[in-house]
Amino acid sequence: MIVVDLPPHSDLTAAAAEFAACPEVEFAVPDTFVYPAVVPNDPKYNQQYHLPLIDAPQAWAVTVGSTSVVIAVIDSGCDLDHPDLAAKIWTNPGEIPGNAVDDDSNGFIDDVHGWDFVHNDNDPTPQPDGIDDDSNGDTDEQVSHGTLAAGIAAAVTNDGWGAAGVDWSARILPI
């Protein structure tokens, strides 16, 4: 076996084909990095068809995300006590909870875990209204959509419970 080092940015596929065309070469293949796929142990992972579609397992072999990432989920609100999200909810470091003061001077009083722009308050949890908006017999079926979206983005992952999030480390800012 002979290993040939090529200059940086070489077309490895083209080079392998060129070498393979030589009569004295039995076979030639590019020697590239291969990353193992990472599969989390969350029981609902097998139902999350979208994660393999975006090559999440291959990406997770490189990185599972960063705690410095904050994902703003602009939707119907987010269940702050959800078992797969509670530990991921962003906390505003500039606010003192419950003191009725806008400590960080951003125009929002006690916006510790996000903001509800519909009701103009500091409680970003979903607020059902008891209405069947699409007349299908199910009331408030969309009220949990923000929680679902937050879970897809950054649910606690590889914890043996629930579903997997794309970014295992990011924080969620419910809006």
Does residue 11 sit in the same domain as residue 55?
A: no
Amino acid 140: pLDDT: 78
Amino acid 35: pLDDT: 66
Does residue 22 sit in the same domain as residue 82?
A: no
Does residue 2 sit in the same domain as residue 76?
A: no
CATH code, domain with 73: 3.40.50.200
Percent of the chain whose predicted confidence (pLDDT) is above 90: 80
Does residue 16 sit in the same domain as residue 84?
A: no
Centre a 10 Å sphere on the Cβ of residue 26 and count the other Cβ atoms it contains: 8
Does residue 65 sit in the same domain as residue 126?
A: yes
Percent of the chain whose predicted confidence (pLDDT) is above 70: 99
Q: How far is CA 58 from CA 37, 39, 63, in A?
A: 5, 9, 9
Amino acid 1: pLDDT: 79
Does residue 84 sit in the same domain as residue 101?
A: yes
Does residue 24 sit in the same domain as residue 92?
A: no
Range of the domain at 44: 36-175
Q: What is the pLDDT of residues 157-174, one digit of tens each?
A: 999 999 999 999 999 999
Q: What is the pLDDT of residues 113-154, one digit of tens each?
A: 999 999 999 999 998 888 887 788 888 777 889 999 999 999
List strand residue ranges (DSSP E) for 20-175, in order.
Answer: 70-73, 171-174
Amino acid 130: pLDDT: 86
Q: What is the pLDDT of residues 76-94, one digit of tens each?
A: 999 999 999 999 999 999 9
Give the strand pairing for 70-73 and 171-174. parallel
Q: What is the pLDDT of the chain when averaged over all its residues?
A: 93
Domain count, the chain: 2
Does residue 61 sit in the same domain as residue 104?
A: yes
* Strand, helix or coil for residue 121: strand
CA separation for the pair 171, 35 (Å, rounded):
26
CA separation for the pair 133, 126 (Å, rounded):
15
Does residue 28 sit in the same domain as residue 80?
A: no
Enter the tokens of residue 139: 């009331």
